[in-house]
Amino acid sequence: MKPRWLVLLSLVTILGMLATACGSATPEVVEKTVVVTKEVVKEVQVTKIVQGKTVTEIVTATPPPPEEVTLKIWIMPNGPDPLGAIQTEIDEFEKLHPNIRIEAEVLDWGSAWSKITTAATSGEGPDISQLGTTWVAAIAAMGALRPFTAEEIAAMGGAENFVEASWQTCNPVGSGFTVAVPWFVDTRAIIYRKDVLEKVGLDPDEAFATWDTFDAALARIKEAKEAGEVETYPIGFPGKNDWNVLHNFAPWVWGAGGEMLNPGNTAAVFNSPEAIEGFKFYASLFTKGYTPPDVLELNSAQVDGMFPSGEVAMIISGPWMVKNSRTPEDKGGFAGSVAAENFAVHEIPAGPAGRFTFVGGSDLTVWNSSKHQEEAVEFVKFLVSKESQIRYGGNIGMLPAVKEALADPTFKDDPDYGVFVQAVGHGKSYPAIAAWGPIESAMVKNLGALWDDVAGVNGPFDPDTMIPARLDAAKQEVDALLAAGGG
Amino acid sequence: MATSTWRPARRNGLWQRIRKHRFAYLLTAPTALAMLGVHFIPTLLAFYMSFLRLNQFTLGRFLRAPFVGLANYALIFSSRNNALVAGINNAARNTLIYAVAVNVGTLGIGIVLALLLNRRFRGRGIARTLMLLPWVVPTYVVGMLWGMMWLRDRGIINTILVDWLHLLSQKPFWLIGRNTLWAIIIPTIWRQLPFNTIMLLSGLQMVPEDLYDASAIDGASAWQQFWYITLPLLKPVVAIVLLWGAIFTFFGYNIVIMMFGNGGGFPGEWGDLLMPAIQRQSFGYWMFGLGSAVSILMMLVMMLFVGIWYRVFRVSLIQE
């Protein structure tokens, strides 16, 4: 990985040098008009290349007025009002920097990938862009991202100021560069109905302690539903017709002691005996009848909807559900409903190897093609400042990526957001390698096929043979992708 | 062949003909240039790309990416167990069934509907307008809408089939397992039917009335009239509709992609079609050379089909 990176970067640098050299090598007549006014007069050292020779001279000049600069930022549809939320930040920023104007464009997640890769290859990108955490390494490998300097990172509070799992995604493995800065965090926890657990006599802390107690708790709710004591199914989660297929499995795989790739990121190891236990446990939650019977054909949004409607006692979802539970119905939330009044959050139960949850979200990047990189960095600095992080995170229903902001009472001391903040501490993200995007596509396909097996499409589901078979096939594909075996 | 008939005089003739119709060429030039830009050049580029190792690491070099000859084509055909093309055979099988079922369905139902709408009855205008409605729904919306309607316990289709009509004893899954094939065929027929019906209806209106009158005097039954008059005269329209339908289904993408997880999910081993599979496993895997190779192969298959289609319908098309 390293040599490729170096070659790419040095290529970009050399090209840049050539371009600037060519630009200034044309002989020019410089007229110096020094107007002495009452303003501050400064001495400026100017180095020019005139006909191939470097000439340095001291020029006295008045400081130029700050140049009017317009920056373009690409973001994704974050939260219920993507443009409104970013405009709030832009307005605040423009108050501090009157010479910088920022134009935001919202890309759709579906088309964003092709638009961003096109920009990366053509060199005509935005100044700043939001990138999904798993995309950063790939776009960086295309040479499109400007690395942040040590001073800039220090000015943003240093690496320690950011959530570890997010920070990791900003530093592509083997590159030695920080090409992005974490913006916000998406993590998963269990959202449950206090009243249902109470009614069946379960203590949440015990019910969500380990896999075994979790299994017992779900069995208890199922029993209670069959006896007519409660109306909800124990839990809901989507199957193959969804975009979160891998994120849904990941906490259980990690909790079982499994990993996605080997330490050198050269081969898949998700078919190890430990990992298989994780896949088995999660699939067993369906086969044991803890979910509504049709859950495997639904997508995440539809499953999220089963919680407010009172169909299920719990779902595994993200911080946006907290916001939804406090947003009135006419604005797309479910405040005031039974589910909202009994809304509670708990971390995902600990597996044999510990407690883990998926951490995703988005990072901010400055593009090499930007003509105003300094100003772009200024805006990034502003977006990761504590106040902006708290405000923006709250507006879009995601967690801040800056620890300072996470520790703010708005999040940390909130009974619901607070649990997500804790969960971030047990968060894990995927390896920050350029090939991760393709690997995720391959996993969504193969795990989708696994959900079909679980649903009984290919005969009665036998976890001991069917799960390893699907994972072995997935490993073959992922290994081929890691070897970049095709063109 | 060209060299044996080539003579200088002929060249002059061609030039003169161009000069003679200069205005016509001038008028068609913008279109020709645009077509060259949006169709021909990209196709040529794709053809060249199919010989390159064009993945995420070499994409920056685009057409100067390493030339690997037929390696991408070899990858497709080399071994059945090649992981990178795993599942393409399922997609090919589904596409074949999908294309045949949709085209037979739209053509069959389309002719029946066109015959009905060709009769004179009260409210015919309204009926014709209503019939057009599915066609104004964009295909990706069709995918999303039917994706909701097919849901086992919360979709309208099972409610109609099981709860109201009692046609089935229990509610089946449509979006999981083998039924997914039906779940994509039926909405496609629904979406494509108006186009076929309108085309066939316009064909029917061109059949001269007196042919029916004359045959009625000769004692032809309604079935004989349909078989010996209507159908042969509809043949050119059927040809166009069939070509259109074949292209539409062979390159089918939107409905399938939107129905299973709004573009993020996997349609499954019985719902996957060639286009979504290629998109996922070449462009989704960032192997653009491989993707171009598969696309070129698909184009060749489609050209073969068009060749056969032309041979079959040549006579009736020329008569038209």
pLDDT tens digit string along B115-125? 999 888 888 88
Residues B127-164: tens digit of each pLDDT: 988 989 999 999 989 999 999 999 998 899 999 999 89
Q: Please give the full DSSP string across chain B, using - where no structure is assigned.
A: -HHHH--HHHHHHHHHHHHHTHHHHHHHHHHHHHHIIIIIHHHHHHHHHTTB--BTTTGGGGGGSPB-TTHHHHHHHS-TT-GGGTTHHHHHHHHHHHHHHHHHHHHHHHHHHHHHHHS--TTHHHHHHHHHHHHHS-HHHHHHHHHHHT-TTTSHHHIIIIIIS--SSSPPPSSSSTTHHHHHHHHHHHHHHHHHHHHHHHHHHTS-HHHHHHHHHTT--HHHHIIIIIHHHHHHHHHHHHHHHHHHHHT--HHHHHHTTTTTS---TTT--HHHHHIIIIITTTBHHHHHHHHHHHHHHHHHHHHHHHHHHHHHHHH-
pLDDT of the residue at A351: 96
Contact assessment for residue A221 and residue A194, using Cβ atoms and an 8 Å cutoff: no
Q: Are residues A161 and A256 in the same domain?
A: no
Q: Are residues A88 and A144 in the same domain?
A: yes
Inter-chain residue contact B84 with A479, CB threshold 8 Å: no
Q: Can you name the residues that pair with A361 across neighbouring β-strands?
A: A185
Inter-chain residue contact B285 with A484, CB threshold 8 Å: no
CA distance A182 to chain B (A): 23
Task: Reply yes or no on whether the pLDDT at B225 is more than 70.
Answer: yes
The reply to whether B82 falls in a domain is no
Q: Are residues B31 and B96 in the same domain?
A: no
Contact assessment for residue A400 and residue A158, using Cβ atoms and an 8 Å cutoff: no
Structure-token match 């390493």, residue found: B66
Residues from chain A that touch B260, judged by Cβ atoms under 8 A, are 240-241
Residues from chain B that touch A441, judged by Cβ atoms under 8 A, are 280-281, 284-285
Q: Which of A242, A449, A480 sits opposite B83 (nearest CB)?
A: A480
At A110, list the tokens: 């579906």
Count of CB contacts below 8 A, A vs B? 141
Chain A residue closest in CA terms to B286: A438
The reply to whether A339 falls in a domain is yes
From the list A356, A361, A328, the residue with the least C-alpha distance to A185 is A361
Phi, psi at residue A438, to the nearest 5°? -60, -40
Torsion of CA A245, A251, A256, A257, to 10 degrees: 110
The reply to whether B81 falls in a domain is no
Domain boundary among A428, A454, A472: A428
The reply to whether B164 falls in a domain is yes
Cβ of residue A321 closer than 8 Å to a chain B Cβ: no
Q: Are residues B33 and B105 in the same domain?
A: no
Cβ of residue A293 closer than 8 Å to a chain B Cβ: yes
pLDDT of the residue at B62: 81
> What does pLDDT average to over chain B?
87
From the list B264, B293, B304, the residue with the least C-alpha distance to B69 is B293
Q: Which of B270, B286, B292 to probe by mutation at the A interface, max A CB count within 10 Å?
A: B286
Q: Are residues A274 and A154 in the same domain?
A: no
Q: Are residues A239 and A367 in the same domain?
A: no
Question: For helices A82-96 and A386-396, what crossing angle results, to 10°?
Answer: 160
Q: Which amino acid, B298?
A: M
Q: Can you name the residues that pair with A314 across neighbouring β-strands?
A: A192
pLDDT of the residue at A46: 62
The reply to whether B50 falls in a domain is no
Cβ of residue B62 closer than 8 Å to a chain A Cβ: yes
Q: Are residues B146 and B223 in the same domain?
A: yes
Selected residues 104-143 of chain A with any CB under 8 Å from a CB in chain B: 110, 117, 120-121, 138, 141-143
Residues from chain A that touch B269, judged by Cβ atoms under 8 A, are 449, 452, 457
The reply to whether A3 falls in a domain is no
The reply to whether B312 falls in a domain is yes
Residue B38 has a CB neighbour count (10 Å cut-off) of: 10
The reply to whether A47 falls in a domain is no
Q: Are residues B210 and B304 in the same domain?
A: yes
Phi, psi at residue A48, to the nearest 5°? -125, 160
Q: How far is CA A23 from the centre of its chain?
A: 39
Range of the domain at A265: 189-358+432-482
Query: Could you tell me which residue, A389 or B81, shows the higher pLDDT?
Result: A389
Domain boundary among A384, A413, A428: A428
Residues from chain B that touch A293, judged by Cβ atoms under 8 A, are 152-153
Q: Are residues A463 and A442 in the same domain?
A: yes
Chain B residue closest in CA terms to A137: B56
Cβ of residue B61 closer than 8 Å to a chain A Cβ: no
Q: What is the CATH number of the domain that holds B257?
A: 1.10.3720.10
The reply to whether A26 falls in a domain is no
Q: What is the CATH number of the domain that holds A167?
A: 3.40.190.10
Q: What is the 3-state secondary structure (H, E, C) of chain A?
A: CHHHHHHHHHHHHHHHHHHHHHHHHCCCCCCCCCCCCCCCCEEEEEEEEECCEEEEEEEEECCCCCCCEEEEEEECCCCCCHHHHHHHHHHHHHHHCCCEEEEEEECCHHHHHHHHHHHHHHCCCCCEEEEECCCHHHHHHCCCECCCCHHHHHHCCCHHHECHHHHHHCCCCCCCCCCCEEEEEEECEEEEEHHHHHHCCCCHHHHCCEHHHHHHHHHHHHHHHHCCCCCCECCECCCCCCCCHHHHHHHHHHHCCCCCECCCCCCECCCCHHHHHHHHHHHHHHHCCCCCCCHHHCCHHHHHHHCCCCCECEEEECCHHHHHHCCCHHHCCCCCCHHHHCEEEECCCEECCECCEEEEEEEEEEECCCCCHHHHHHHHHHHCCHHHHHHHHHHHCCEECEHHHHCCHHHHCCCCHHHHHHHHHCEECCCCCCCHHHHHHHHHHHHHHHHHHHCCCCCCCCHHHHHHHHHHHHHHHHHHHHCCCCC
The reply to whether A128 falls in a domain is yes
At A197, list the tokens: 């657990």
> pLDDT band at residue B218, thresholds of 50, 70 and 90?
confident
pLDDT of the residue at A141: 85
Q: Which of B49, B53, B55, B56 to probe by mutation at the A interface, max A CB count within 10 Å?
A: B56
Q: Which amino acid, A34?
A: V
Contact assessment for residue A256 and residue A277, using Cβ atoms and an 8 Å cutoff: yes
Residues from chain B that touch A134, judged by Cβ atoms under 8 A, are none
Q: Are residues B275 and B208 in the same domain?
A: yes
Q: Are residues A234 and A353 in the same domain?
A: yes
Q: Are residues A249 and A374 in the same domain?
A: no
Residues from chain A that touch B162, judged by Cβ atoms under 8 A, are none
Total number of domains constituting chain B: 2
The reply to whether A401 falls in a domain is yes
At A177, list the tokens: 């560069």
* DSSP-derived pairing of the beta strands A128-132 and A69-75: parallel
The reply to whether B152 falls in a domain is yes
Alpha carbon distances (Å) from A179 to A142, A453, B149: 12, 40, 45
Selected residues 213-252 of chain A with any CB under 8 Å from a CB in chain B: 239-245
CA distance A465 to chain B (A): 18
Q: Are residues B30 and B93 in the same domain?
A: no
pLDDT of the residue at A339: 94
Residues from chain B that touch A292, judged by Cβ atoms under 8 A, are 153
From the list A146, A75, A38, the residue with the least C-alpha distance to A372 is A146
Inter-chain residue contact A444 with B264, CB threshold 8 Å: yes
pLDDT of the residue at A234: 97
Q: Are residues A378 and A328 in the same domain?
A: no
Selected residues 145-164 of chain B with any CB under 8 Å from a CB in chain A: 147, 151-154
Chain A residue closest in CA terms to B285: A438
Domain boundary among A409, A428, A447: A428
The reply to whether B9 falls in a domain is yes
CA distance A37 to chain B (A): 51
Cβ of residue A453 closer than 8 Å to a chain B Cβ: no
Inter-chain residue contact B265 with A292, CB threshold 8 Å: no
Residues from chain B that touch A473, judged by Cβ atoms under 8 A, are 83, 86
**Residue numbers of chain A with a pLDDT score lower than 70:** 1-65, 110, 484-487
The reply to whether A301 falls in a domain is yes
pLDDT of the residue at A244: 87
Q: Are residues A120 and A267 in the same domain?
A: no
Show Cβ contacts of residue B6 under 8 Å, excluding neighbours closer than 6 positions: none
Task: Reply yes or no on whether the pLDDT at B10 is more than 60.
Answer: no
> pLDDT band at residue B233, thresholds of 50, 70 and 90?
confident
Q: Are residues A98 and A233 in the same domain?
A: no
Q: Are residues A211 and A129 in the same domain?
A: no
Contact assessment for residue A373 and residue A366, using Cβ atoms and an 8 Å cutoff: yes
Q: Are residues B244 and B159 in the same domain?
A: yes
Contact assessment for residue A238 and residue A244, using Cβ atoms and an 8 Å cutoff: yes
CA distance A164 to chain B (A): 27
Total number of domains constituting chain A: 2
Q: Are residues B4 and B142 in the same domain?
A: no
Residues from chain A that touch B176, judged by Cβ atoms under 8 A, are 239-240, 296-297, 451-452, 455, 457
Residue A77 has a CB neighbour count (10 Å cut-off) of: 14
Cβ of residue B271 closer than 8 Å to a chain A Cβ: no
Residues from chain A that touch B72, judged by Cβ atoms under 8 A, are 486-487
Inter-chain residue contact A444 with B285, CB threshold 8 Å: no
Range of the domain at B4: 1-39
Q: Which of B66, B86, B177 sits opposite A473 (nearest CB)?
A: B86
Alpha carbon distances (Å) from B251 to A114, A322, A412, B299: 20, 42, 51, 10
CA distance A437 to chain B (A): 7
Q: Are residues A126 and A243 in the same domain?
A: no
Q: Are residues B145 and B283 in the same domain?
A: yes
The reply to whether A23 falls in a domain is no
Chain A residue closest in CA terms to B72: A487
Q: Is the ipTM of this complex over 0.85?
A: no
Q: Which of A444, A445, A481 sits opposite B87 (nearest CB)?
A: A445
> pLDDT band at residue B262, thresholds of 50, 70 and 90?
confident
Q: Which of B72, B176, B262 sits opposite A487 (nearest CB)?
A: B72
The reply to whether B109 falls in a domain is yes
At B63, list the tokens: 């057409």
Calpha distance A438→B103 (Å, rounded):
34
